[in-house]
Structure formats: structure tokens, C-alpha cells
Chains A and B, each alone.
Chain A
Amino acid sequence: MASMLEGSGLGLLKGMAMTFRHLFRRRITTQYPEQKLTLSKRFRGYTLVWDKERCTGCATCAKSCPQGNIEIVTSKGTENDYVVEKFQLDSGRCIFCGLCVESCPYDALFLGMEYERSSYRRGDLVLSRDKLLFTPDKQRSAYARPKLEPGLPRQTLLIEGDTGSKKR
């Protein structure tokens, strides 16, 4: 039967029936500014979070960065340690691969969860020490830090028909 009707426009009608069915389906759109997706727990956000207390200034992160994007300057401290004078990330060049976070031996570096980081000026994308500094209100990603994973909200999944939550 199918072969007999092949080429007689039935395929076109089938296609139209398929698109017509979609008229009655739920829209999957996340209305972004009002409605937001909860990101993955391991989300690699477009900033770093740097824990000053834990950092020893070993610069492993700077060495592991593929494009040498982390600038870290240390000086000899009072005791047998180093003081980090400058810790700077050019987020306009960073590709957020997470290698720095993975390589940090003291768990002092985290990826952030932020992505709303556009700017009008190129210079604003260079994040200095203060902007990267860890404060309790900053959300840290659990990428390469599995300990943080339980504390983070569940990711929004499209497969569950979820289109994100209104206003965090």
C-alpha cells in the first residue's frame, strides 16, 4: 500500500500532520530573564572563585593554564610562606576549561556559577584579585570539587519537561 501511494503527495501530508501535532505540544522555551535554568552542579561558569585563605601562591594554576591566562605575583611572607600580591584572570581570554581548578593542589580555586558577565568594555573583563576573592555569597561550582556537589540545586533537565524556575 505504502509503495503504491509513494510519490503521490502522501509524504507531504504526513509531514504536515507531524508539524500540526506540534501545535498542541508544550512549548519548551525558557523565558530567560524572568525564568532561569538551574545549571549543572559542575557548571564551568565564566569566572573563577579564589580562596585566599587556602592559596599558598604555588602558581600551579598559572602553569596549567593552556594560554597562560592567570597572572599571579607573590612575595616572601613573614613566616615561611608566600603572600599573593596579584591574582588576575583575563576572563575575555579564558576558555573556562577548568584545568587550573583541577590542578590546584590545595583546593583553593573554584569555578564560579555566573554567566551574566558581559561588558561594554574589554578592560572590564580582566578580573583582579578582589573580584575573584571568595566570599560566602558567591556560588562555587562543584567542577573538580565533588565535595560541593551535595550542596547545589538539581540541574534543570529538558528531558523532564522542565523549563527552569521563575526568578531565583
Chain B
Amino acid sequence: MESMSSLSTDMELKTEPFVLNMGPQHPSTHGVFRMRVLLDGEVVVDLEPIFGYLHRGIEKLAETRTYTQVIPLTDRLLYLSSMACNHAYVRSVEKLAGIHVPERGEYIRVIMDELMRISSHLMAVGFFLNDLGCSVYTPLLYMYREREKILDMFEMVCGQRLTYNYMRVGGVSGDVPEEFMPVLKRFVAEMPHFIAEYEQLLAENEILLARTKGVGVLPRELAINASASGPVLRASGVKWDIRKADPYSVYDRFDFEVPIGQVGDNYDRYRVRIMEMHQSLRILEQAMRQFPAGEACAKLPQLLRPAVGEAYGRVETPQGEMGFYVVSDNSIAPYRMHIRPPALLNLTALKDMVVGWKVADVIATFGSIDIAMGEVDR
């Protein structure tokens, strides 16, 4: 018997794992991310993410700039949702300096945030589909069409398509122009139709279901323990949205729901994003109805000098909780600014999500987390 068993182990097909370096330049690492993947055939045995290929030292640069001059830097963090980053930063500075923002300014911010959320989720879903291998990018291009419409609106209010530099401490840099509201109204009216179209293209697609269901599961406990946030956390079944849990701006005046997933797999993350788009449209509708008149920005001195102290302000960006920990020493520049990165922390559990799956699933799972390297590496 003994000889038999030893024979059978000898007969077992031994494969040797090998290391595959994905990135820093890889078509679907969403920038310059690198994963050192240990593969056994196509199966992932181990994964180690390597960061820093886009580390630009934003936190250090912020120490040399005035509070206003930091805003353009925040644009370049989560470059798919710059408005939300602006908002997170100005909110923490307002908290630090105790500044009250006029109501109209708050509403404009909310509208921009929600438009940004729709646009960012469109991109997240589009690139996710890309990572799943829509080889000629059709879903991405369809979603880019809607994103362009949103970018048109952003361009209308602040003149840029990607790096808006729109929000200011105390409000926004300029009130929305007259033609903005009709366009927004039209967009909100049309958008559900397009989302329905994406649903038709994707929701029941058997290949998509097979590729995403049950893949890259992030269990609820791990999601909380690993400080995940945003759609990644909610897909794991945690009803945690800072807009509800810790309402900022005027979010407590809107009626909306926080969609959650059940399992925490790639499919849930994708569904949560689609459902959040619907909720964003709801918020936009209400914000349009309640839109008040008045000033868009508080009157403030050109150079802020907040009192000595520190503040942590956070908002719910499309990727998750983004917070700015700002320390002031009563000078015109922040003494220390730390960015709480949503996507970097969402990546914490990446290894647990992909071990045992195929190479293709690594890419898909990674895509479903929706990161922007600007903010992961800062």
C-alpha cells in the first residue's frame, strides 16, 4: 500500500508557479499600478500590489501652498471625480476655519457632486466592462457619451473638462450660469432612459453574469475591517454612506436610499454603482426643485489664516470616503495635510479577493474596485 501511495504522489502532475509582473504599464491597470502575481498556470496563488508609480507628493506640496492654491492639487487626486475631491478638501478647511457656506453654494456643490458621481460610476462600469474584455470598448464608448454630456455641464460652470478647480473655501468659484439649469433638467429627464439601455446591454448578459457572479467576494467583516468604503463596502452588504451616516452639506434635506449588495462580489459592486446612479438622479431632481437664490460664495479674505488646530472633513466620493486631515498653525498654508484615500484602502483586501481565481478575474476584480491612481499613490 505504501509503495502505491508514493507512486500516486509521484504520478501527480506537478506544476511550477511563476511570477507575472502586471504593470506598471498594463492596458487595464487604470494607470500605473503594478501587481506582482504568483501564478500556477492561470490560477492566482499570491498577489502583491506595488504602489508609488504615480506618487507625486501632493501632501508635501500642499504644505507649501496657500489654502486656495491647494484646490487645484485636489483636482488631480481622484481624477475621475475631481469635484468630490474639491468638496472634501474645502469641507475640511471650512471645518477648520469655522466658515459658513451660503445655501446656494451648498446646493451647487451637491449638484456637482451627484453629477460627478454619475459620471464616475459610468466610467467605473465602462472600464469594468473593458477589463472584462469588451474588446472594442462598446459599453465604454456608450457611457462616454453620457459622460460627455455631464462634462459639458462642468465646462459650462468652470471651463474645464477634467480638472475643475471649481469649489472654493466658502462656496464655489462662480455661480452657475443661466443656461445651466435647463440643461441639467433635460439631462435628469433623459438619463434613466440611457441607464435602461445599459441594463439591456449588460444586466442579463450571460457572459457578464458568469464572469462576475461569485467572483472576487469581499466578505462583510473583512470589508469593514479593511477600511473599505464606498460602493465596495456597500456591495458587501454594509449600509454605510457618509451622505446618510454623517450628512454634510445639505444632504439631510434629500430623500434617497443607499443601495447595498448581498454577497460582495464583482456583480454586486457593478449593481450598486448602477443603482447609485438612479439615486443620484433622485437627489438631483430634488436639488433642482429646492434650488435657492442668493450668494454662491461667502465673502472671505483672499488669504485664509485658520486658527491653530486640526480638522478632519470627509465626503462620500464615488469611490468611497475621502477625508482631508488638515492641521493649521495659523499661517497661510496648511501645516500638514493628509488625504484619506478611498481607493488605496479599498485595495487592502485585493489579495484575499483574487487568490484562487484566474488571471482574468484579477483584472476584473481590480476593475470593479474602481480606482484612480492619482489618489492611490497621491
Chain A residues engaging chain B, CB cutoff 8 angstroms: 6-7, 9-12, 14-15, 17-19, 22, 28, 39-44, 64-66, 95-99, 102-103, 111, 141, 143-144, 146, 149, 154-159
Q: Are A19 and B159 in contact (CB under 8 A)?
A: no
- Which residues of chain A have C-beta atoms less than 8 A from B205's C-beta? 11-12, 14-15
User: Do residues B72 and A99 form an inter-chain contact, with CB atoms below 8 A?
Assistant: yes
Residues on the B chain within 8 Å of A159, using CB: 149, 152, 183, 186-187, 190
Chain B residues proximal to chain A, CB less than 8 Å: 65-66, 68-73, 138, 142, 145, 148-149, 152, 155-160, 163, 165, 173-174, 177, 179, 183, 186-187, 190, 197, 200-209, 302
Chain A residue with the shortest CB-CB distance to B62: A66
The answer to whether A144 and B149 have CB atoms under 8 Å apart is no
Question: Please, how many angstroms separate the alpha-carbon atoms of A103 and B68 in the complex?
Answer: 11
- The secondary structure that dominates the B interface is helix
CB distance A6 to B156 under 8 Å?
A: no
From residue B207, how far is it (CB to closest CB) to chain A in Å? 7
Say yes or no: A6 contacts B145, CB within 8 Å: no
A81 to B101, CA, bound (A): 38
Cross-chain pairs A/B with CB under 8 angstroms, 15 sampled:
A9-B206, A12-B207, A14-B205, A19-B201, A28-B145, A28-B148, A40-B155, A43-B155, A99-B68, A99-B69, A102-B173, A143-B174, A149-B177, A155-B156, A157-B183
B165 / chain A contacts, CB cutoff of 8 Å: 97-99
Nearest CB on A from B169, distance (A): 13
Chain A residues within an 8 Å CB radius of B163: 95, 97
Quote the shortest CB–CB distance from B356 to chain A (angstroms). 24
Q: Could you say which residues of chain B place their CB within 8 Å of the CB of A103?
A: 302
CB <8 Å contact, B72 and A155? no
Known: A42-B174, A97-B165. A158 touches B145 (CB 8 A): yes
Rounded to whole Å, the gap between the CB of B296 and the closest CB of chain A is 12
User: In the complex, what residue of chain B is closest to A159 when comparing beta carbons?
Assistant: B149
Q: Which A residues are CB-close (under 8 A) to B158?
A: 42, 44, 143
Contact of A11 (CB < 8 Å), options: B145, B174, B209: B209
Query: Contact between B156 and A42 (Cβ–Cβ < 8 Å)?
Result: yes
CA distance A41 to B160 in the complex (A): 11
Also in contact, A43 and B206, with CB within 8 A (given A18-B197, A18-B200, A28-B145): no
Report B-chain residues with C-beta under 8 Å of the C-beta of A6.
204
Known interface pairs A98-B159, A143-B159. Does A41 touch B177 (Cβ–Cβ under 8 Å)? yes
Interface hub of A9, A141, A158 (most chain B Cβ within 10 A): A158
In the complex formed, the residue of B with least CB distance to A95 is B72
Contacts of A42 in B (CB 8 A): 155-159, 174, 177
Cβ contacts under 8 Å, A22 to chain B: 142
* Nearest-Cβ distance from residue B135 to partner chain A, whole angstroms: 13
